[in-house]
Amino acid sequence: MATEPGRLVMILIGVILMYLGIKKEYEPTLLVPMGLGTILVNIPDSGVLMTGGEAGPFQILFDMGISTELFPLLLFIGIGAMIDFGPLLSNPFLLMFGAAAQFGIFFVIIVASLLGFHIEDAASIGIIAAADGPTSIFVANSLGSQYMGAIMVAAYSYMALVPIIQPVAIKAVTTKKERQIRMEYHPGAVSQTAKIIFPVVICIIAGLIAPVSLPLVGFLMFGNLLRECGVLDSLSRSAQNELVNLISILLGLCVSVKMVYTDFLQIDTLLVMGLGLLGFVMDSVGGVMFAKILNLFRKEKINPMVGAAGISAFPMSSRVIQKMATEEDPQNFILMQAAAANVSGQIASVVAGGLVLGLLI
């Protein structure tokens, strides 16, 4: 071990990940198993990777769950079961903010390609800005990126840091007056029939326009159908709790396979982390700028911060936006609009992931 200081550095990184998860409560469901997993895979001759010349348990889990892309997809069933599309269906106009706030993905792909990354790696790094861990894993694995470990750490760390990253990014591109804009909420009632048909319609549309996105969209919408159909409440609860918890445990552990020091300790890893952060910032900037452009043509102005809520980190982003709005004007309530943009970001991020795959595979 003394001759391989990289192992000690990775063990320290594992401890830091666990510290962030346990003490700071940053995405603990992923960072805690990933932190311990990082320690386990970096111990010399670790049996979790290879045992008796055969693949060890972590490697087997990785081959079964990540290489086949099953774990991130199964996680999507649970995520879909957690999402209420009601606020979005009553204000479908806010869907477009989900599209705008994916700007960071495409911006980072360009910057990464300028920095000399292969296009597959550049695209995988860009997808960190989807603010959606399972999509990042799915795309990075499908494209065979060598930076899977760094991409996972960046995706989940920055998702946890949304309350710190977004206010800085939003304040940099908005004025106080803009952040004080009040928006009237028109809570249109949505029928249960519409809520049931909605996930099916999304599958069909996404399938016709971007068939490669169907694994992501289909599993997400299947989870939502469990929630909304009204006759599978028990399955919906299982998907939201047991399924998500089980997969999170396995995912966190087996992703550590990509945290071996020889793969992780490279200058490129720092670049990946930096580009991921840039992507999160540019997502917020893209959403805000889209709202500002729309405001040029609208009589009823949109609070540009709602645009920044179009990222996939749900419900954290919408809460951050409401908190910022209240800080500027205690009587300003834009939570419902921000929540609608936020769930739209869930749809948009999986569609973006599918489209990027479709363009490269």
Partner 1 sequence: MSETLLIALEILGLGWGGVFLVLFVIYLCSFALSKLFPPKDDKGGAA
* Residue 113: CB minimum distance to partner 1, A: 4
* Residue 329: CB minimum distance to partner 1, A: 24
Measured from the CB atom, the residue of 175 and 191 that comes closer to partner 1 is: 191
50 — phi, psi (to 5°)? -135, 135
- Residue 164, Cβ neighbours under 10 Å: how many? 11
Measured from the CB atom, the residue of 15 and 355 that comes closer to partner 1 is: 355
Please, are residues 111 and 123 in contact by the beta-carbon 8 Å criterion? no
Measured from the CB atom, the residue of 69 and 84 that comes closer to partner 1 is: 84
* Residue 192: CB minimum distance to partner 1, A: 3
* Residue 147: CB minimum distance to partner 1, A: 16
Please, are residues 266 and 93 in contact by the beta-carbon 8 Å criterion? no
Chain residues that interact with partner 1, rule: CB under 8 A: 86-90, 92-93, 95-96, 98-100, 102-103, 105-107, 109-110, 112-114, 117-119, 122-123, 187-195, 197-198, 201-202, 205-206, 209-210, 230, 344, 347-348, 351-352, 355-356, 359-360
Amino acid found at 161:
L
DSSP secondary structure code for residue 294 in this structure: H
- Residue 280, Cβ neighbours under 10 Å: how many? 26
Please, are residues 121 and 145 in contact by the beta-carbon 8 Å criterion? yes
Measured from the CB atom, the residue of 40 and 212 that comes closer to partner 1 is: 212
Distance CA 61, CA 338 (A): 38
* Residue 118: CB minimum distance to partner 1, A: 7
333 — phi, psi (to 5°)? -115, 110
Distance CA 13, CA 82 (A): 32
DSSP secondary structure code for residue 303 in this structure: P
Measured from the CB atom, the residue of 40 and 129 that comes closer to partner 1 is: 129
* Residue 89: CB minimum distance to partner 1, A: 5
Please, are residues 34 and 250 in contact by the beta-carbon 8 Å criterion? no
Q: What six digits make up the tokens of 260? A: 């071996």
* Residue 110: CB minimum distance to partner 1, A: 5
Dihedral Cα 89, 93, 97, 98, nearest 10 deg: 30
* Residue 352: CB minimum distance to partner 1, A: 5
* Residue 144: CB minimum distance to partner 1, A: 16
Measured from the CB atom, the residue of 149 and 199 that comes closer to partner 1 is: 199
Distance CA 104, CA 98 (A): 12
Distance CA 334, CA 265 (A): 43
Measured from the CB atom, the residue of 156 and 198 that comes closer to partner 1 is: 198
Measured from the CB atom, the residue of 118 and 171 that comes closer to partner 1 is: 118
Amino acid found at 39:
I
Measured from the CB atom, the residue of 56 and 286 that comes closer to partner 1 is: 286
Distance CA 141, CA 46 (A): 24
